Chains A and B, each alone.
Chain A
């Protein structure tokens, strides 16, 4: 546990000290886990994470420094932006896994793009179905809900695979990292399609590139 350079109290977050209210300047290289004072790992307790977010935000949020001089206020802006960025990575399992795979030296999204032929065929098939739904006027067609159920199952399965591959954390260079990357790539496709279905159900126009 690190200590505050100002008051020597134990630090819960390297972003600021809850005991004396001093804002700190942790190195840019610190991981999102370190910023929230958590052990790095795929398993995370969502309630505990939220609690850490709230506790740390009470130390770094600009509202706490509203009457402080401008440089302090800017410091609070920077630190709370870092905290929010770190929380966003940790709160979402796909983002969290993506960060861990990169951190452990696994292939990045741009390095390992290739997906199995069979999977790509499936993607084409959903896209056709989505295209149909989009061109139909009025409310979302019933077939869409079936697709949604199917894709959600697939997503849950892919997430379970990621969990199996990343718990316990693999060694650097382990082939499990490359397997996890494939699952994450599939998850990107699945989440995108699920988002589109949701938008269609909200009957909002979906634009296409």
Chain B
């Protein structure tokens, strides 16, 4: 292929691939950023913002649409517009009953407890839905990069995400065709964006109240090393919950007038959600705002003034929950508020004045708000991506695992093997033995959480050790190694020490996808929907053409002199046609234009190839070659 050769020819003197995206996969909005010319920048195609609402619309027939366009269908087609997928990541149906009550979806679960959302009779896992969002974010990012296809990325998750939720995020990226370099905690990423390494030494608190999750992280920064001391949070507390308070208010007052049929209507629920969100946002700048629900088709027209004072009194219990998490994090970090040198606010919900005031009062200092709280996480992820690609070698992140890891013992109690806030990567070794003569297998149950009883913690899976050689009871010595990696994800290994046989560990995750399921979905993704494939192809062709255009424009001026006029004209025309094709969505035309373009670049490629060969040979005697 012509363009690949051109890229090879660009190689002498140019840098190898060093680009990787930082992606904030948020509950309400998602965003990509990249590290360019010494600083992180948000990626957005010309003429539009970078924030992609994490919303998917499934039209009756045709391709799912992601982003603002999807959001616009929320009221008209509520059952087919999916919001807040992140709340379902790595969760079972039992975990999300409260969410489901306020969202108009049909949800089911597989026999293994995997949650699935149903749209047009087709079932989607949260991983698949998040993959659609990631693909859209990736496409827009590549467009912003002039068609360059960057697939390496760092993806952020709430610090308080457990193992299954992290794995689900990794799987979603895999389904989207992305290569995840690292899963980074959102507040930790945010601390990188603020350039806090400028101060030589200090303790920093990142207060991150996003759309659906809350995290607070305490870091010690010294000599470019960002060491997380403790993190605490709540994966079910975010801006959405503040919206819910207003939506609830509307329901309480509308119920008696319009009856429960209206309250359960999906269109009404979406309308309320959106209106509540608008009202909340307005109350951040105005002392008073309007909450309104107008649905002409249902003869609903309701308006009500809400004062900031009234809203804040509704919010107070939620704000206090964030402060009690701050106390917890400080206590775990063995620090008091007076020892904190900087406080950073992250997440759209920190725009609420009552949140800012409460945080300022608790820490006794004015928090940083210089960076856009919606962008700071993606910017930090881009810094981390740059570090991982070998860019900034002076910075290093040391993060922690947010939850204790334990094994269920006889009687249902938990024996902790790794304490919460242990720095990752970390490892623990536990010994297991057999209870019965000739027993060849041992089952154990791994949980994450702080409670004393296994049933109150989050189940990560039941693990089975098989292939233990038959021995009298208690003689087998099985050493099990638990390793939490830099992404915060657990792996388990086991070995029988007496005989040296490596026992087979079979892991049956309680939630989340198995590797086999991810593989199947990847295959299905291609085999099933032709439209899926075509749209992907269109995006890929545009990216390919973009790369070819840049390579050609870069080399044509230098090469012009060495080419005959006809070849130059031919190339310019083919390039023009290819550019034109990129403004349309026609896969056939794009394919033809690309092929034509590629053919037309061959003379230039050949010329450059010769030049490079000559340069490489210059100064060498014939005999050396």
Interface on A for B, CB 8 Å cutoff?
50, 54, 57-58, 61-64, 66-67, 77-78, 80-82, 84-85, 87-88, 198, 202-204, 207-209
Contact = CB atoms under 8 A, between A and B. Distances in A.
B227 A54 contact: yes
Interface in B215-232: 222-223, 225, 227
Interface string B224-260: 0101000000000000000000000000000000000
Given A77-B483, A204-B328, A63 B422 contact: no
A81 B327 CA distance: 28
Given A66-B182, A67-B389, A209-B413, 10 more contacts: A54-B223, A54-B396, A57-B225, A62-B425, A63-B486, A78-B483, A84-B425, A88-B422, A88-B423, A202-B324
Given A202-B327, A208-B452, A77 B398 contact: no
B328 to A, nearest CB: 6
Contact of B398 (A57, A85, A204, A207): A57
B553 to A, nearest CB: 29
B297 to A, nearest CB: 47
A67 to B, nearest CB: 6
B486 A61 contact: yes
B451 interface: yes
Contacts of B522: none
Contacts of A202: 324, 327-328, 331
Nearest to B330: A202
A81 B388 contact: no
Nearest to B419: A88
A85 B486 contact: no
B178 interface: no
B534 to A, nearest CB: 34
A205 B225 CA distance: 35
Q: Is chain A's interface secondary structure helix, strand, loop, or mixed overall? A: helix
Nearest to B232: A202
- List the 3 closest pairs (A to B, CB-CB), nearest first: A66-B388, A207-B452, A81-B427
A98 to B, nearest CB: 15
Contacts of B182: 63, 66
A204 B227 CA distance: 26
Given A54-B223, A202-B328, A84 B387 contact: no
Interface in B311-340: 324, 327-328, 331
B289 interface: no
A61 B396 contact: yes
A84 B426 contact: yes
A78 B429 CA distance: 13
Interface residues of B, number: 32
Interface string B365-402: 00000000000000000000001111001001110000
Q: Which of B225, B387, B413, B424 has the most CB of A within 10 A?
A: B225
A208 B424 CA distance: 28
Contacts of A80: 425, 486
A81 B227 contact: no
B181 interface: yes
Contact of B422 (A50, A58, A84): A84
B426 A57 contact: no
A204 B225 CA distance: 32
A198 B331 contact: yes
Contact of B453 (A81, A87, A88, A207): A207
Nearest to A77: B425
A73 to B, nearest CB: 9
Contacts of A84: 422-426
A81 B426 contact: yes
Interface in B420-437: 422-427
Interface in B87-103: none
B404 to A, nearest CB: 13
B485 interface: yes
B456 interface: yes
Contacts of A198: 331
Contacts of B389: 66-67
Contacts of B413: 209
Contacts of B456: 207
Name the residue among A66, A80, A87 with the largest chain B CB count within 10 angstroms: A66
A54 B224 CA distance: 9
A66 B452 CA distance: 37
A209 B422 contact: no
Contact of B486 (A62, A87, A208): A62
B426 A61 contact: no
A199 B483 CA distance: 28
A203 B597 CA distance: 68
A194 to B, nearest CB: 11
Given A63-B397, A66-B181, A203 B425 contact: no
A83 B244 CA distance: 45
6 contacts: A54-B227, A61-B398, A66-B182, A66-B390, A80-B425, A207-B452
Contacts of B388: 63, 66-67
